[in-house]
A and B are shown apart, each in its own frame.
Chain A
């Protein structure tokens, strides 16, 4: 970057610009959607896109930033979905209103995330002692076990909780475009903040070279578990949104295939690029809707794309590139500055 010539925008102004723009977008688009600007179908697709973005961005923490390959992300989503579903049913959120309703929704989301995070810690501590392929295998195993347990246990200590194979039904449908959007923004924000902090740099150092990082005094196990747990937390939140979106849950949804689906989003976008995860989550969710005529070929095309991307552009479409509004503003600013100077 041409640091000497281009003017950088001072920090407080950056925050201000960005905050205002975010607020505008959140309120603007929510008002537009809720005001009937788009049809029910498009709203539904947008919600699914939002949920997938959270899943992809959260998996990106473990895959892209930490450099591991967990194959059980759907397991954490399942934990979050069932936690959220059971909680929402228990507090009877469908009949609440106003502030009480908002509180319940927020509590459900937070609780789902926390329970998934606890699972993340419990699974992460033993799993992360292993490296590379073994980590992939062990997370795959945990993901499958979570599914088998959900399928076969329908009551816990005499309480009907998960309803086993027939699934959890009649969950209050709390998910709306607005709360999905807010969750997406918060997820990206939190992950971004963590990754830009000291902790984030430690996580990246582990990805680059674990042994070197360790010898520089980075507590590798601590940071690995931390990244893993962060990843699980948001998968749980996404699960809760999913439960509130669909209204009924079945354990078969959260199989190995679901984990792979999320992985494809991350890989295609570029491991380590949040923008990449977001864009590919959007594309992979929206494209099949647009191409319904070709739906028979959809899965074949998916797998073909996955192989081709790996062979010809293994870094994914975005590589590790991340988007910065300020950087673009600075460039535009610099351009005008230069042309002004030329005139003068």
Chain B
């Protein structure tokens, strides 16, 4: 019993030491930041949150590159209202905790708006924070309805009016593909294979299955797999056995490539349908296996953008996340310039409100992934581009 309190003391000492050390540096950086935000250097600070070092970094880096491409173009052209846009970028490591700390650091740095996150989990955590302080936020890629809806179970609970997105929401794509299967392909039976533990995959699947019931398509199999699985042969064997007209596979391209290869191995010959996650699949399965697959995409290809991207980063556009990042940055900068025109001061509440209002009022802004206008839930109203795999190429066929 001797030293118990002294032990606890040690805890406190240690905590307070860090507290003091941290507060010094924190105070230093925030004072510097407020200097910048008040326009001494004539710049507008915005924050960028993306996962650039975790297992999903290929999405995060693409979004970040897309965003930076647009910002660099704007800055090279003289900036907004004569002010350069300064991007403070932090890695959220795909982790919600990290995202929240990184976001509060952005606030300390004096940003006036934030672009991010990339994954649904991090975006949701950050959306809670931005909503609390009314800071404009746009995500390039988080597709779950709950990002803008306060309660995804109940639309009447209201929305986070400060949060926008540049991408489709999950249910939209699922419904589109069910309609496509019914109207364009005359399908009467369908199977789905989706990833549990993934909002995107489950969201698309649920919408597809519901729409199928409405359209009179029989869903023969609903096969699931867990995150990180690479062996889908058991599920595909089940599907091959009931041999449906189409298989809806709402997953990302790496899994899609493996799934379709194994489906062919176990003898399924039908057509695959997918969501925008298929973009980039051509490198992940053979041309014969992929032939005829149809997916909907926000991005139908844009030569000018692709050339600019390749010039800036020395690689081809890796997936649709890069153009979505580009458009997200464009929407944000467009809204910021509206606030600038009103002569407001960056970082103030009125400024943020003006940015949010301008964003919500966006109408007819041309991006590389389509023309933007937001609906009452802050989701973009765009039509989907149908892409088909032909001889190992992803070819744009029609708007649907």
Contacts and interface: CB of A to CB of B under 8 A. Distances in A.
Contacts of B105: 41, 289
Contacts of B311: none
Interface in B190-232: 196-199, 202, 226-227
A123 interface: no
Interface in A265-285: 274-275, 278-279, 282
B8 A188 contact: yes
Contacts of B16: 25, 28-29
Contact of B197 (A41, A45, A252): A252
A184 B11 contact: yes
Contacts of B307: none
A250 B120 CA distance: 10
A45 B101 contact: yes
A75 interface: no
Interface in A182-232: 184-185, 188-189, 192-193, 196-197
B22 A45 contact: yes
Given A38-B23, A45-B22, A253-B96, A188 B197 contact: no
Contacts of A28: 16
Residue among A19, A39, A196, A278 with the most chain B CB within 10 A? A39
Interface in B86-109: 90-91, 93, 95-97, 100-101, 104-105, 107-108
Interface stretch (B143-151, B274-282, B351-359): B143-151
A46 B19 contact: yes
A248 B1 contact: no
A172 B125 CA distance: 13
A176 to B, nearest CB: 14
B184 interface: no
Given A40-B107, A248-B125, A323-B7, A165 B196 contact: yes
Contacts, number: 194
A42 B29 CA distance: 11
Contacts of A34: none
Interface string A158-188: 0010001111011001000000010011001
Given A40-B104, A50-B15, A151-B196, A323 B6 contact: yes
A44 B199 CA distance: 27
A278 B198 contact: no
Contact of A246 (B7, B97, B196): B97
A169 B146 CA distance: 9
A336 to B, nearest CB: 20
A39 B199 CA distance: 34
A343 B9 CA distance: 34
Contact of A18 (B9, B144, B151): B9
B19 to A, nearest CB: 6
Contact of A29 (B6, B7, B19, B202): B19
Report the 3 A-B pairs with minimum CB-CB distance, sorted nearest first: A18-B5, A325-B6, A38-B23
Given A184-B15, A295-B93, 20 more contacts: A25-B9, A25-B12, A25-B13, A25-B15, A29-B16, A37-B23, A38-B19, A39-B30, A41-B107, A151-B226, A169-B124, A169-B152, A188-B8, A192-B4, A246-B100, A247-B125, A282-B15, A292-B90, A322-B7, A325-B9
Interface of A: 11, 14-15, 18-19, 21-22, 25-26, 28-29, 32-33, 37-46, 48-50, 53, 148, 151-152, 160, 164-167, 169-170, 173, 181, 184-185, 188-189, 192-193, 196-197, 242, 245-248, 250-253, 274-275, 278-279, 282, 286, 289-290, 292, 295-296, 298-299, 322-327
29 contacts: A18-B9, A22-B12, A29-B15, A29-B16, A32-B19, A38-B19, A39-B30, A41-B105, A41-B108, A165-B196, A165-B198, A184-B11, A192-B4, A196-B2, A242-B97, A246-B97, A246-B100, A247-B128, A248-B128, A250-B121, A252-B121, A252-B197, A275-B10, A278-B11, A278-B14, A282-B18, A289-B101, A295-B93, A327-B6
Interface of B: 1-16, 18-19, 22-23, 25-27, 30, 52-53, 90-91, 93, 95-97, 100-101, 104-105, 107-108, 121, 124-125, 128, 144, 146, 150-153, 196-199, 202, 226-227
